[in-house]
Structure formats: structure tokens, C-alpha cells
Amino acid sequence: MAEAALDDLIEALRRLPGVGAKSAQRMAFHLLQHDRDGARRLAQALQQAVQRMHHCARCHTFTEAEVCATCRDPQRDARLLCVVETPADQAALERSGSFKGLYFVLMGRLSPLDGVGLADIGASQLLQRAADGGVQEVILATGFSAEGEATAHALGEALRTRGLKVTRLARGVPVGSELEYVDLGTIAHALADRR
């Protein structure tokens, strides 16, 4: 089409995860044709977020403040530190309403194939954070994918050598599921970890 502003927009939208050439084109046409106000708001939101959001000095999640609201909350139990991969995982744990401790957000997980090593997930910050004297137990709540398990294993080793108590979320049959439809690996774990 040789319209620079339109091509630039489509190119910029393609950098979003999960957006290919066709989707980017559709998004650009939609914004220009039906939602110019939405385009302006998105531009502003992007600028504001890039400018204001940085990492919490204690738990590494995104925050506008020096230390995030969760870390500042005096009601939380500072003896428990839960390690999660992403802010979305943290939000899921919060929604469950069953954890009142503090968090450390890795903002990723070990993935040697993608070149993501211990330094990229803030392992040294985690070790420093966990050794602040107040933490009595570190709960590894990374995912149960291969990469999440590898991350939990590597971090667990490092934390244990510093004398910290380390636990992992339980594996087992999800609430509400019929055994018949649960995968075999999960059933094997649920049997092994029976209580």
C-alpha cells in the first residue's frame, strides 16, 4: 500500500506476542476505521506504562512505587515467601485466597534453549531476598511444565544450600475432575504423594 504511517503501525503491532501479519493488519484497519479513540488511548497507555512501571525492589514484580503494595502490606506473613513465574501466576494465587505470605516474581523461567539463565530470572536477587532473616520457608510455585520444574529444581538447590526450608506446590488431581479423564502422570504423582 506504500503508506508509511499505516505500514509502521502494522509493523509495530506485529511485535506483540501472538500477532502475525494478518492480525496486525486487521488490528490497524479496525483502529483507524472504527476506534481512533481506542488507538489514542492505547498510545497513551503504552507511554505511561513504559515510563512509570518498573520492578519492585523486593519482589521484582511490576510496580509504579519503589516497593509494591503487597510487599508494603504489614498484614502479610513475612515468614513465607512464594516464588512464582509471572505476575499472572501471583494473581491466580491471590485469587485463591489461601496464601497470606509474600512473593518473589521471577518474571520468567529457566529456558536454556531460549538463552534464559539464572541471571535472567533474578536468582541472585531471590537468594538475597530469602536470606533477609525473616523468611522461614520458601514455597516454589513455578509451573509444572518441564521448564517450570527445572527452574524449581535449580532454585531449590541454591536455597537449600543456604539453609532455607524449601517446599514445592503439591501435585495431584485437580478439584472437580473425574479420575477417568486425568492424565497418567498426574495420577502417578497423586498416588505417590497420597496423604
Binding site for its own copies (CB under 8 A): 1-6, 8-9, 11-13, 15-18, 23, 25-33, 35-36, 38-53, 61-64, 68-69, 86-88, 91, 107-108
CB of 68 to its own copies, least distance (A): 8
Q: Strand pairing partners for 181?
A: none
User: What are φ and ψ of residue 181, in 5° steps?
Assistant: -100, 5
SS3 sequence, 10-63? HHHHHCCCCCCHHHHHHHHHHHHHHCHHHHHHHHHHHHHHHHHCEECCCCCCEE
Minimum Å gap between C-beta 113 and its own copies is 16
Closest approach of its own copies to the CB of residue 35, in Å: 6
| Strand 77-84 to 62-63 pairing | unpaired
Smallest separation, CB 142 to its own copies (Å): 16
By beta-carbon proximity to its own copies, the closer residue of 29 and 131 is 29
Q: Give 63 or 156: the residue with its C-beta nearer to its own copies.
A: 63
- Closest CA relative to residue 129, chosen from 58, 54, 79, 62: 58
Sign of CA dihedral 73, 78, 81, 82: negative
Which of residues 56 and 135 has its CB atom nearest to its own copies in the complex?
Answer: 56
Least spacing, CB of residue 59 vs its own copies, in Å: 12
Q: Quote the least distance from Cβ 115 to its own copies, whole Å.
A: 12
Range 170-173 contact pairs with CB under 8 angstroms and sequence separation of 24 or more: 171/144
- Return the number of the residue (16 or 187) whose C-beta is nearest its own copies: 16
Max CA separation in the chain (angstroms): 66
27 CB-side CA count, 13 A: 20
Nearer to its own copies, 11 or 193 (CB): 11
Nearer to its own copies, 145 or 167 (CB): 145
